[in-house]
Structure 1
Amino acid sequence: MPVITEVELRDRIRRPRRGLKVTVPPGVRFSPSARDFIAQWGLEIVEERQEPQPPAPEPTPGAGGQRPAWDKPASFPVQFSGERPRCPVCGQPVHDKPEHMTQLDATHFAPKNIPRLRFRGKMDSVQGLMQLIAARARSWRLTDLAGHLDTLAAYCREIVSAEYNDREVAPIEVAGLDEAALREATHHPQKVLGIPHLTPGPDDHEILHWLNYLRAQVREAELGALDAFAPPPMYEPTRPDLIRALNRLSSAVYYLELLYKAGQFDWRVP
């Protein structure tokens, strides 16, 4: 059962005043110093009402419930073998790589600030943020949420691998849902989860704000993909699979927000 300390209680209230009503999750306990603080200010403690919520959508039947091939621990992405990569300008092998260049693919170096590599760097940032939020989720014992974030971090690696190797991105799966089920849940949350679309605010827990920020970063990565693979003047995507993958990744993060808000994850007050 979660325990709220005086420090955590002060952080929730910010500016205490006598008789203030404080809403807390059901079943929490208070540390001795927190109880003294409550008595000192005559605080009224009210437990959140737990409205019955529809269960989360059932997992979409798949290949025997197995994880997708891309959902695996990270490994070093570049394997150095075969001929040395070549300069994209002169076509000659590069023996001493300049500091301002890196591998575009297995056979070419390119300047680090071209749109493709900017997009790749943004995906690295998104993956790192996912892993950071997963660590925060584990600190609050949101183990299911952390596991889903691990899956999405693996999908970031799948996107980058597909971009680097010039192959199509595999479809996303998370929390037992495929692309179609994710789209249904995120477009119709009232129907699927019993809650309206989210507008995170000051009363929401920190983890929801982290997820909301993560979704914003994924959307920025999608813009980076469009800069790299749908340039002007036609703006016609040359890699529509990458654009779709980023769009669905944003939906997947939003679905985790919805699951959290719908009370589908067990948690404790930090």
Structure 2
Amino acid sequence: MSNFITEDWLRANYSLSDGTEIHLPATCKLTPAARGLITDHHLVVKYYDEQGRLFIESDDENTSTKTNDTNEQPVLKQVHGLTSQQGYDAAECQLCHQAVQKKPDTMTHLNAHTLVSKSDPRLVFRAKLDSCIAMAVWLQIEVSKNPQQWLTDIRSVLGNIMRADALNEPLSNFMIGGLNEEAIHKLSHNPLKYLGHDHIVPSAEQGRDACLLNLLRTEVREAEISAASIFINRDLVVSRPDLMQGLNRLSSAIYVLMLLCVQYETNSIWPTKDTLTSKLGVQ
């Protein structure tokens, strides 16, 4: 990769859906057009070095990067890969609320401040998310070129869900393949109307990509059911509606992607974002 990150390179390697997280080399330099694209699409940029450490741009006004000079590299600060925060907070036991000097093997962090037993059901949900992320990453090197950018967005959303849960932050609205959550919902519920193909039942005849994506879809479904056991109480009060809806839409997005792969097996046509939005009547 060139030391310069250009707008064309970003467009070729990412779908650029709003809020997508992208990773760039810590030694790279951003052209003004590339930086403008990142700002316009609200991309979350993390930088990595040869040792695998993650960084974000410093928000210190005295050290921030000039955006109109391609000869300057971003001024970076090292952060935790999940929380994007510097440093570590002392954790306390959820039961006794005392600081824990040495973490026992039977406990783990629920968040930066709290240690819980590894039998905590919230950790089951985290483990399911972890499996989803692992599957999404694996599929990025297994499927053909067409679904790649959708998978980049899916991987990003899974990471955002993990972060929102761990930090108790709201999950931001997201886009996958350039489509917002409402568009994904419409496509998945009425594919015959909008895509020209009815609902599918997974089978080997649908091709390799659709079969592999179905593995990820089922993983996300399991994560959604696990989340429901935590975030929906006996009175049907939902404590994290953002996460529940996010997981539901994520499953729908993978199903839509499966349908697109099935159609491609037949007609070798991969629809653009503009084609899909025009079918939905979205401007």
Measured in 1, the distance between the counterparts of 2:224 and 2:245 equals 9
- Say whether residues 1:262 and 2:263 are aligned partners: yes
SS of equivalent to 1:110: strand
Counterpart position of 1:130: 136
Indicate if the aligned counterparts of 1:145 and 1:265 stay in contact, CA closer than 8 A: no
Q: TM-score, normalised by structure 2?
A: 0.65
TM-score (norm 1): 0.68
What does the per-residue CA deviation read over 1:23-44, in whole Å, with 9 as the maximum and x for residues that have no partner? xxxxxxxxxxxxxxxxxxxxxx
Large movers: runs of 4+ above 3 Å: none
Partner secondary structure for residue 72 of structure 1: strand
Q: 1:176 aligns with which of 175, 178, 181?
A: 178
Map 1:1-270 → 2, pairs under 5 A: 66-73=16-23, 76-78=81-83, 79=85, 81=87, 83-137=89-143, 142-231=144-233, 233-263=234-264, 264-265=269-270
Following TM superposition, by how much is the alpha carbon of 1:217 offset from its aligned partner in structure 2, in angstroms? Answer: 1.2
Deviations along 1:186-238, whole A, 9 cap, x unmatched? 1111111111111222322122111112111111100110112124x324221
3-state DSSP class of the match of 2:108? strand
* SS of residue paired to 2:90: coil
Structure 1: tracts of 5 or more residues without a match: 1-64
Verify the 8 A CA contact 2:207 2:262 in the aligned structure 1.
Answer: no
Q: Cα 1:213–1:70, aligned 2, differ >3 Å: closer, same or farther?
A: same
Give the superposed CA RMSD: 2.0
Higher-RCO chain (CA-CA 8 Å, sequence separation at least 6)? 1
Q: How many residues align?
A: 197
Q: Which has the higher strand share?
A: 2
Q: Is the 8 A contact 1:162 1:168 kept in 2?
A: yes
Question: Which SS does the other structure have where 2:175 is aligned?
Answer: coil
In structure 2, what is the Cα distance between the partners aligned to 1:70 and 1:237? 26
Larger Rg: 1
